[in-house]
Structure 1
Amino acid sequence: MTSFVHRGQITKVVFGSGTRNLVAAEADALGCRRVLVLCTPGRTDQAEEISDLLGPAVVGTFAEAAPHTPVDVTARAVDHVRAVRADSVLAVGGGSTIGLGKAIALRTGLPQLALPTTYAGSEMTPILGETEDGRKTTRRLPEVLLRTVVYDVDLTLALPTAVSVVSGVNAMAHAVESLYAQDRDPVALLMAGEAIDALTRALPAIVRSPDDAEARADALYGAWLAGTCLGTVGMALHHKVCHVLGGTFGLPHAETHTVVLPHVVAYNAPAAPEAVARIRRALPGEDTGAALFGFAERLGAPTGLRDLGMPESGIERAAELIVRDGYWNPRPVDRDAARDLLARAWAGEPPHTPPGGGTTHTGHRTSTGAHHA
């Protein structure tokens, strides 16, 4: 008999085509009468469209959302929230904008909604990562859960192919780490497997035909499931590595996940045989890390951290930070292992599985990071 604890979600999900037209009704159902729309500087057109749909319920737009949720941006946003007397926030965009909404909710207690336009999955999690003084801190906080998420496949049709690819692999990373999470449960395993299947189907189809609505729907469905996994079970080495790289070197979020994932899977493979077997159902191959690396290559995704702007001199510093406050991981991670993994990822070399590691899930954790992501 398998014993487990499953954390359910409270977020309402509205999924379909043209569902953005329901956003005013969804805001009204929550009692929101003064909605502040959030976006990045590049999403102002979409934010304006959603503002028009909200009609008299909108009180303006804050268009300064930035990657890794810098606390100084959040401070300005909170001041704006108070200045316009907003009673709620609506994020229109990807993980950067949704992260800002969460940071505002944490500081103000306001309810939040989202219209995701990428495959980040952050909208389905109680996880908030914030950056200050070059360091990213991640916490799991139930109070930052969104009240309603409206998925409109139509909003993803214009997402550039290159962005779609890395955003989709980023979502795959959430699902992959759910398969060997310390607190994995049967529901999370089912969702994670389904997410990987959907995304490995959808992303090549999007590369071939970016306006393929069915492929876009499949990708968004997979991203929803992967995000839900991220919100219900803990993550491991992959997410720790990416948070260190993003917070310390300002590397782009989704691209970093795309480069790092094959290397972490290769490293963890000896200690996570069930996860490897499930990934192989979607990406056949004897070496699962190599299969993921080849999948990303075929999609035209970046494969080297140096191509994302990471200096080679930063490898040692990153390795130190990865093991300093490490997350639980199925295979122990020391500084040498972290350095070797980073060196291959930096150079864009194929992933490598070091010998050893065993086949148990006893894992390793140097701090209370088991439920972080």
Structure 2
Amino acid sequence: MSDSFIYNGLPTRVIFGSGIIDQVAAEAEYLGITKALVISTPHQVGLAEKVAKLLGDKSADVFAGAAMHTPVDVTEKALSICEALAVDGLVSVGGGSTTGLGKALAYRKDYPQLVLPTSYAGSEMTNILGQTKQGLKTTVRDASIQPETVLYDVDLTLTMPALFSGTSGINAIAHAVEALYAVDGNPIISLIAEEGIRSLYKALPILAKHSTDLEARKEALYGAWLCGICLGSVGVAIHHKLCHALGGAFDLPHAKTHTVVLPHALAYNAPAVPDAMKRLCRAMDTDNPVAALFDLARVIGAPHSLEALGMPEDGIDKAVEITFKNPYWNPKELDREAIKSTIHSAWKGIRPELQDVVDE
């Protein structure tokens, strides 16, 4: 354990259970919301309309235009609707795309946010906003971005397709993996990260075969919440930088990109983070977390290469340039050729090797 550290608890109010969507109106009232814009993607407009109905006269309208990577032009369109309707709060219903739009609006107008996650993205537990403009994804942290209340209703995850459940879950695991070696990490977050990884790693193979298994859904959503706490509490490193660069530059699917990149990024950092590797070995009951994460992606049926996600091979150099243009802190020094090799391995879908095995 470190001799000294700083820990800040997240201020978000969390309500976890089954069937708690019915509490949405009461929670909106708790936040002082009288005219809410209900946000979703086009795919989940039906659920958004159900939530609007539950809100009753507290619902101003439904905006079902949220998009992947939070494009600024979509945010501006939604903002004009908020202003026209004199909205005083937001209810975001969906995954990371929907939550991202809500956070983008809150960053501009400091609206209170009530989030009902339907995936394992975890962004609802952070004060981080990632948004894309002209092919470049940038991030910002601000207190106004942090949602005030999150309703984790396990029932809302029961209809998640098996593949999306898996990639969304590995995306969540990535948050906790990097929290284990974050520059501002602390022992509390390390405990939360290890438990979050354990929960998701246990649940995801079950959901790949039985997507409506309620106990596995509870375990996965619980793990995703913990991994979201990690993302909101400490910094990230090369894995997230690579995913931000790739997603913004090539419009790659967010969760699948994290799923492909994670084992390769971990293989890069493994020699520099022995304590984190020991925790990962314990959480996943393995002596090779790098291989375990790569194999987990196979178990859930996810694409295993950036090529399969639509990234062109000649984009590798561009991804390297973006990564080094504004690099994140990383526990291992960033070497340009090594990072290029890491991206190339992820592009090809090569099973990464763990260079230094964790000592007993």
Equivalent in the alignment of 1:244: 245
**Aligned 8 A contact 1:262 1:293 in 2:** yes
CA–CA separation in structure 1 for the residues paired with 2:134 and 2:219: 38
Equivalent in the alignment of 1:348: 349
Letter in 2 for 1:72: D
Equivalent in the alignment of 1:5: 6
Letter in 2 for 1:76: K
Superposed CA offset, 1:248-284 (max 9, x none): 1000000000000000111111000111111111334
Verify: 1:336 aligned to 2:331, yes or no: no
**Aligned 8 A contact 1:323 1:334 in 2:** no
2:235 match: secondary structure: coil
Q: CA deviation at 1:354?
A: 6.2
CA–CA separation in structure 2 for the residues paired with 1:282 and 1:320: 34
**Aligned 8 A contact 2:35 2:87 in 1:** yes
Further displaced range: 34-43 or 319-328: 319-328
Equivalent in the alignment of 1:368: none
**Aligned 8 A contact 1:296 1:302 in 2:** yes
CA–CA separation in structure 2 for the residues paired with 1:21 and 1:223: 22
TM-score with structure 2 setting the length = 0.97
Q: CA deviation at 1:343?
A: 0.5
Structure 2 counterparts to residues 91-240 of structure 1, below 5 A? 91-240=92-241
2:352 match: secondary structure: coil
CA–CA separation in structure 2 for the residues paired with 1:352 and 1:206: 27
2:174 match: secondary structure: helix
Structure 2 counterparts to residues 263-274 of structure 1, below 5 A? 263-274=264-275
Superposed CA offset, 1:192-250 (max 9, x none): 00000000111011112111011001100000000001000001000000000000100
Superposed CA offset, 1:136-179 (max 9, x none): 00111111110100010000000000100000000000000000
CA–CA separation in structure 2 for the residues paired with 1:267 and 1:334: 10
Letter in 2 for 1:273: P
Letter in 2 for 1:128: L
2:91 match: secondary structure: strand
Q: CA deviation at 1:301?
A: 1.5
Superposed CA offset, 1:80-127 (max 9, x none): 001111110110000110000011011111111100000000000000
2:53 match: secondary structure: helix
CA–CA separation in structure 2 for the residues paired with 1:60 and 1:90: 10
**Aligned 8 A contact 1:244 1:321 in 2:** yes
**Aligned 8 A contact 2:208 2:299 in 1:** no
Equivalent in the alignment of 2:297: 296
Letter in 1 for 2:21: R
Equivalent in the alignment of 2:63: 62
Q: CA deviation at 1:335?
A: 1.4
Runs in 1 of length 4+ with deviation above 2 angstroms?
282-288, 352-355
Verify: 1:318 aligned to 2:319, yes or no: yes
**Aligned 8 A contact 2:172 2:227 in 1:** yes
Equivalent in the alignment of 1:370: none
1:305 match: secondary structure: coil
When the two chains are superposed, the root-mean-square deviation of aligned CA atoms in Å is 1.2
Change in 2 beyond 3 A, CA 1:65/1:136: same
CA–CA separation in structure 2 for the residues paired with 1:220 and 1:354: 33
Q: CA deviation at 1:288?
A: 2.3
Q: CA deviation at 1:287?
A: 3.0
CA–CA separation in structure 2 for the residues paired with 1:205 and 1:286: 21
CA–CA separation in structure 1 for the residues paired with 2:222 and 2:284: 19
Equivalent in the alignment of 2:284: 283
CA–CA separation in structure 1 for the residues paired with 2:299 and 2:32: 47
Any stretches of 5+ residues in structure 1 without a counterpart? 360-373
Structure 2 counterparts to residues 15-94 of structure 1, below 5 A? 15-94=16-95
**Aligned 8 A contact 1:267 1:352 in 2:** no
CA–CA separation in structure 1 for the residues paired with 2:182 and 2:10: 18
CA–CA separation in structure 1 for the residues paired with 2:239 and 2:174: 8
CA–CA separation in structure 2 for the residues paired with 1:329 and 1:157: 36
2:307 match: secondary structure: helix
TM-score with structure 1 setting the length = 0.94
2:308 match: secondary structure: helix
Letter in 2 for 1:58: S
**Aligned 8 A contact 2:195 2:283 in 1:** no
In the alignment of these two chains, the number of paired residues is 356
